Amino acid sequence: MADRIELRHRLSPLAGNIERDGDRLTILRPSIEPLSFPAGSSRFADALMQLDGAGATHAELVAIAAQDGDANARDGIDVYLERFCFGQLLEWSITLDGEPLATVASLTSKFGPDETNTPPDTVELSRFAWIRRDDEGLILESSIAPGRITLSARGAALIGALAAPGSDDPDARGLAIALWRFGFFEDTAAEESPARRTWQFHDKLMHESSRHNRDTMAAGEAYKFKDEFPSPPAIKPDMDGAVVPLPAVDEAAVRHSSDSLLEVMSRRQSGYDYGDNTLTLADLSTFLYRVARTTDVIQGPGQELLSRPYPSGGSIHELEFYIAIRQCEGLQPGIYHYQGLTHRLHQLPDSATAAERMITVSARGMGQADNLPDTVISLASRTPRLSWKYNAIAYRLTLLNAGVVHQTMYLVATDMGLQGCANAVGDSRILADVTGLDPFEETSIAEFALSAGAN
């Protein structure tokens, strides 16, 4: 029954159509210079012409090329297919008795089916694969196979049948083998290497999708939404709640008391030695001023940009600073938003319980469940500001920016004699609940515990 399933090679939209003049073929690539080449023989030309339209199976291509008894017909066809794959000139259809099950598109050069090796006895969907919906329908993708598969309703149903315990549907098995040839299914009996086992699904997905690892998927500056809606403003509107002006910072005194960068970096370490001291409002003010103040608002191409003490991708500065206070001289417990342009805090109403939860989660994440810091600074990303300009890399970029902020915080805390420690795990729901903001607009992505020094 699996033989009812066919894998057909055909020209991709990048190739357009193919024309023939004797044994010379020309691929008419849309918006690109035509590709003309000799087919080698009339039989090879006959075979390659089959790639136009509905396409042909590998066996059909070889049979046509071998009609004159050419013993090297298979090798010759394989060479042409390999070259076409390199130029992303092919796509593939998988059919069941002529009914479309899936269309396979190449996302990078050299991608194509393995029609040489014998399929394993049993296969399973790769743990790095996923199915999603887009404008074309149901899409099957994988972070380890650089192709995109558009599934028909029948094709999706057959893949679903494979998930049923004890399923022995021969048509589903045939589709699975066809997709195994493209790397979307794997040998059930194969063991993963230790290195591969350490990669989780979401980590590999983010890595592959936010790098230039797919030739047909642009990553980087794109201004995708420029003509659809304006970028969110650079300066976030003041939040509701009591305004707390912060003490002025004497820059001359800071310069006089600061150590050299070499000395600060040599002493930098994660600190949990809180002692009996309590963070002061003056120290918190100086810390925020040195790390996160806004020094300028700049009109960039289509969106406002900012200048702050730390670098940020595109000068977009999408990160917002929230401070959860357990104890700080001059402040009540609660969560405060830092407005870097005016150097002041806005206390979020009824946020004391949320602050306690955020600090507790942070302490546990540092392995210090019984040793609570004075404060935790939550970095929240207004990711749409990045996505408005950058395609595919917005979340990667905001994490990189958060890492830059963490290093800046470490250095400033060390220079000031404060205890600081970055957190790898936090609960974004805490801040979302207390702000009431749509997580698609703003969400917390990193934390930094800050406390007074022990001495």
Span 194-209, average pLDDT:
95
Q: Report residue 165's pLDDT band, with 50, 70 and 90 as the boundaries.
A: low
- For residue 96, the cross-strand partners are 5, 99
The residue among 31 and 289 whose pLDDT is bigger is: 289
Dist. CA 87–CA 107, nearest whole Å: 11
Q: Which of 146, 301, 166, 154 is nearest to 221 (CA)?
A: 301
What's at 103, amino acid-wise?
A: T
What six digits make up the tokens of 84?
A: 């076409």
pLDDT at 341 over 60: yes
pLDDT in tens, 229-260: 999 999 999 998 999 999 999 999 999 999 99
pLDDT at 447 over 90: yes
Q: Which of 144, 138, 62 is nearest to 111 (CA)?
A: 144
Q: What is the mean pLDDT of the chain?
A: 93
Q: Report residue 418's pLDDT band, with 50, 70 and 90 as the boundaries.
A: very high
pLDDT in tens, 277-332: 999 999 999 999 999 999 999 999 899 999 999 999 999 999 999 999 999 999 99
Return the residue matching tokens 């296969």: 123
Cβ–Cβ under 8 Å, residues 288 and 321:
yes
Dist. CA 79–CA 329, nearest whole Å: 75
CA distances from 124 to 105, 118, 401 (A): 21, 16, 38
Within 8 A by CB and 6+ apart from 427, the residues are 357, 358, 361
Question: Per CATH, the architecture of 220-451 is what?
Answer: 3-Layer(aba) Sandwich (3.40)
* HSE-CB for 4 with a 13 A CA cutoff: 13
Rounded to two decimals, what is the model's pTM?
0.89
367 phi and psi, to 5 degrees?
A: 70, 30
The residue among 29 and 378 whose pLDDT is bigger is: 378
What six digits make up the tokens of 448?
A: 């930094």
330 phi and psi, to 5 degrees?
A: 95, -5
The residue among 237 and 68 whose pLDDT is bigger is: 237
Q: What is the pLDDT of residue 275?
A: 80
Cβ–Cβ under 8 Å, residues 306 and 234:
yes
Q: How many angstroms from the chain centroid is the CA of residue 212?
A: 11
244 C-beta neighbours (distance < 10 Å), count: 16
Cβ–Cβ under 8 Å, residues 246 and 331:
no
Q: What is the pLDDT of residue 1?
A: 39
Name the residue ranges covered by the structural domains of the chain.
2-192, 220-451
pLDDT in tens, 97-118: 999 999 999 999 889 999 999 9
The residue among 167 and 24 whose pLDDT is bigger is: 24
Dist. CA 54–CA 19, nearest whole Å: 15
Q: What is the pLDDT of residue 166?
A: 64
